[in-house]
Structure 1
Amino acid sequence: MSDPITVSTGTRKEYPIYIGSNLGQSLYHFIQRFHPSKAFAVIDENVLDLHEAKIMDELGSYFEELLIYSVPAGEASKNFDQYQKLTDFILNNHAERSIPLFAIGGGVTGDLAGFAASTALRGIPLIHIPTTLLAMVDSSIGGKTGINHAAGKNLIGSFYQPEAVFSDLSYLETLENREWVNGMSEIIKYGFIADPVILDDIFTLSESASGRDPNAWKDLIKRSAMIKNKFVSEDVNEKGIRAYLNFGHTFAHVIEQCGSYGDYSHGEAVFAGMYGAVFVSNKLGSEIDLSNLNRLRPFYELSLKSLDRSSEDLTRMMRTDKKVKDGIIRLILLEQIGSPYIKEMDNEDLITASWEFIRSRF
């Protein structure tokens, strides 16, 4: 296994990201810093069904008491009700500030568990064990935690950095195809905002015979994590360039909201959202080749025909996005591939036209 990636947040000690197959030994050495009497494990219900033996072997064999909270699968679990139930579980089981919490699952589990860890006792140690492609390349890195609200996605949350991230590729062996594609979108995003070579590499790998071999994806996962680390380390609390990581996401969050956080996965919505961002970029003078998205479109079994809002309504819904400033929608656009910028959009007709373009593609 290669050396871990080190994340520096500027406000606290650095933490490592381990990437490799069967990281049990590395995990064992790391958790010895904690007292073996107790730990919390917040686990996606599907992951628990598939990997309980592995989890108990790696964590249950060290901690005398491993208290497991099972999170219902799906984006709908990022809500007040699950947050309260999880917080009750932590506090009613005699939490202490030295007792760690392991978040084991995809982005939903990580966001929910991270928010609970950040608020219970004003903060208990958090260790991410991401089990999906999306979580490994994006959501487990950088300290964003939170839950959704009826008014919009991720509107309630905190910045709370973990103690470590263990991206064990062996978990990807049981990942369903839709979840695999879900994670591809975030890697594609990194290609657009930072490394154009990724766009060719992800297409080549996806088309190859080893397109679903987790170990074949190790390099792309590591490169993606390094890009995320670069933006996070330079802008921990998203006051500037970290916002570039939201390329396509302002559109995506509206799509997810319209689907009640269940009809469309985050990655599907991001993929559609990137069409909107490229459309606006090109209308403002860029020349981004849409073939970079079009050739990956066959991997996505996505239709937006059921969106029951007008394009004008979708544009108005974007005003609830966290990046809105003084009531003005802010988009992440591209001067060219690899050169993102933030644009305050006073031309809402152009945004509405971009929604029409997105609809025409899906």
Structure 2
Amino acid sequence: MAEVNVNLGNRSYKIFIDVANKKIIATLMQNMKVNQKVLIVSDQNVGNLYGVELKKQLQQSGFIVELHCISPGEHSKCLDTAMELYTKAIVLGLDRNSTILALGGGVVGDLSGFVAATYLRGIPFIQVPTSLLSQVDSSVGGKVAVNHPLGKNLIGAFYQPKAVVIDIDCLHTLPDRELFTGLAEVIKCGVIADKNFFMYLNNNVQQILDKEPDALTEIIRRSCEIKARVVEQDEQESSLRAILNFGHTIGHAIEANTSFSIYNHGEAVAIGMYGAALISKYLGLCSEMTVANLKDTISKFKLPLSAPECNITELFALLYRDKKVVDNKINWVLLNEIGQVSICKQVPEDVVIRVLKEITVPNKIC
């Protein structure tokens, strides 16, 4: 089993990565000395695949378990669904030593974590991410949130899980498109912090796309490790943690501009990374070759480079609705070289508009 420690004092926890890893959850919870009542939150797709089995395993270990499945998709990450879960928790009689267990992708993890953070002012929760995107990104670091109709993740908190349990086997039932979207965040980790890891990705493209266990374990382990080291230094995103948002400023705008219905998160982030790299080039921060290397890697992993469905005027306005905007200034994460990024608040509007035009031209750069 691969393990990554997230060192945050009394909020520290471990990330466990292995095949057939769901079997350790009951023992893990017994060692945590939580009480017997557990609410598993999943979506209808993942719940049917793994939820019933996990519920049975926990019940056999003496836990009192309720499985609640929400509708799959970003639309469920809202206050209405959170209210459903509060009601379920109250009816089940969860107290401050009970556990919410998030079994699913990023929507389930973000929503469950938000409910855990706010129910009775905070109860334990465990992340069991089942998509590559949630395994390498949303399950690690303690960001929990729900969406508002005017923006993504605008209502949330920083609240760390008690553990993250990653089962590689879950990726074998993952559709190819969902694998690719997770790879966007994996690529991001190499771009912002580790040139050697970026090279590893390029040297093992087929093994990763074929879901070979050793390759999957390595990219998940290293991605989690990179994110953990950043979170340890800046848990609540006051400075360094902002580098994890490389590609996300434009990416979130693309998601919102297309009503979260055309591009999934990783696809939007891939386009956003390419856009951020172009801004960096036009500002003289990185070379043409660096941009070309990133573009080539994004393409190798079957991810898009443009969003022709977007409206440039609307896209530009959405950039300023991002939760990381301070005093009407965007904290751009820009590329210096592979493995190194920097934060810049002084990007001329004409440069941003130029790049938005480039990434919304159909078939020009895909």
TM-score of the pair, normalised by structure 2:
0.92
Does the 8 Å CA contact 2:271/2:304 hold for their aligned counterparts? no
Residues 143-182 of structure 1 mapped to structure 2, 5 A cutoff: 143-182=142-181
Partners of 1:188 and 1:27 in 2: how far apart? Answer: 29
Q: CA deviation at 1:349?
A: 1.2
- Per the alignment, residue 304 of structure 1 pairs with 307
Stretch deviating more after TM superposition (99-108 or 257-266): 257-266
Does the 8 Å CA contact 1:199/1:292 hold for their aligned counterparts? no
Q: CA deviation at 1:268?
A: 0.5
Does the 8 Å CA contact 2:135/2:166 hold for their aligned counterparts? yes
Structure 1, unpaired ranges of 5+: none
Q: CA deviation at 1:28?
A: 2.8
2:11 counterpart SS class: coil
How many equivalent residue pairs? Answer: 358
- Per the alignment, residue 321 of structure 1 pairs with 322
Partners of 2:35 and 2:57 in 1: how far apart? Answer: 13
Does the 8 Å CA contact 2:295/2:305 hold for their aligned counterparts? no
Partners of 2:100 and 2:248 in 1: how far apart? Answer: 29
Partners of 2:165 and 2:61 in 1: how far apart? Answer: 17
Partners of 2:238 and 2:18 in 1: how far apart? Answer: 32
Residues 13-162 of structure 1 mapped to structure 2, 5 A cutoff: 13-32=11-30, 33-35=32-34, 37-162=36-161
- Per the alignment, residue 338 of structure 2 pairs with 337
1:254 counterpart = 2:248: no
- Per the alignment, residue 187 of structure 1 pairs with 186
> What RMSD in Å do the two structures reach over aligned CA positions?
1.9
Does the 8 Å CA contact 1:40/1:90 hold for their aligned counterparts? yes
Partners of 2:269 and 2:210 in 1: how far apart? Answer: 21
Partners of 1:84 and 1:242 in 2: how far apart? Answer: 30
1:289 counterpart SS class: helix
Partners of 1:111 and 1:20 in 2: how far apart? Answer: 22
TM-score of the pair, normalised by structure 1:
0.93
- Per the alignment, residue 223 of structure 1 pairs with 222
Does the 8 Å CA contact 2:180/2:266 hold for their aligned counterparts? yes
Q: CA deviation at 1:237?
A: 0.3
Partners of 1:325 and 1:304 in 2: how far apart? Answer: 26
Structure 2, unpaired ranges of 5+: none
Q: CA deviation at 1:213?
A: 2.6
- Taking only the aligned residue pairs, the percentage that are identical comes to 37
Stretch deviating more after TM superposition (257-266 or 157-166): 257-266
Change in 2 beyond 3 A, CA 1:301/1:350: closer
Change in 2 beyond 3 A, CA 1:90/1:279: same
Does the 8 Å CA contact 1:129/1:166 hold for their aligned counterparts? yes
1:280 counterpart = 2:279: yes
1:329 counterpart SS class: coil
1:253 corresponds to which letter in structure 2? H
Partners of 1:278 and 1:122 in 2: how far apart? Answer: 41
